[in-house]
Amino acid sequence: MVSKAFQPVPASEIPDEISGLRMTRQRQHIYRILLQHRDHPTANDVFMRIKDTLPNLSLATVYTCLDAMVKHGIIRQVNFDRGPSRFCPNLAEHGHFHDVTTGIIHDVKFKSGIHLEDVLDLPPGAIIKNVEFTLRGQLS
């Protein structure tokens, strides 16, 4: 059984606007790709996957569209070390487990009821706007 949780917006019907960002044809296609293949693709991966359906899409446009969607909180940008940025439409607070043997990236959530202040020694007065964490390892 395939979980519906991974298709919150049917790929075929993406609205004309999301969180104040006009969803142009290019942006709709890009967003659709992110919703369909949730494997944290790079900008170039996205570009390659769209090329056939939008032959004169520019890689620069993929970059600016992804950036616009990140700025509007529609998708998230994830960086592993110095590698190329990757993108995912999973907006829930989560981090990533990078399986070094397969290269697959799994989303990782906090256990329910866990809050950062409870587990970290934060500088006094710290107001956290954004959290990112990455684990590297392998599945036994």
Residues of this chain that bind DNA (CB under 7 A): 16, 21-22, 24-27, 42-44, 54, 56-61, 63-65, 67-68, 82-85
Q: Give me the least distance between CB of 42 and DNA, in Å please.
A: 6
Q: Does position 103 bind a second copy by CB under 8 A?
A: no
State the residue for tokens 């809050």: 115
Q: Does position 127 bind a second copy by CB under 8 A?
A: yes
Full DSSP string of 24-76: -HHHHHHHHHHHH--S--BHHHHHHHHTTTSTT--HHHHHHHHHHHHHTTSSE
Nearest of 69, 71, 78 to residue 131 by alpha carbon: 78
- Contact between 110 and 93 under an 8 Å Cβ cutoff? The reply is yes
The one among 45, 63, 68, 95 contacting a second copy by CB under 8 A: 95
Stretch that binds a second copy, among 18-26, 46-54, 61-69, 100-108 (CB under 8 A): 100-108
Measure the CA angle with vertex 22, ends 21 and 24; round to 5°: 130
Q: Which does 64 bind (CB under 5 to 8 A by kind): DNA, a second copy, none?
A: DNA
Positions that interact with a second copy (CB under 8 A): 77, 79, 81-82, 85, 95, 97, 100, 106, 108-111, 114, 116, 118-140
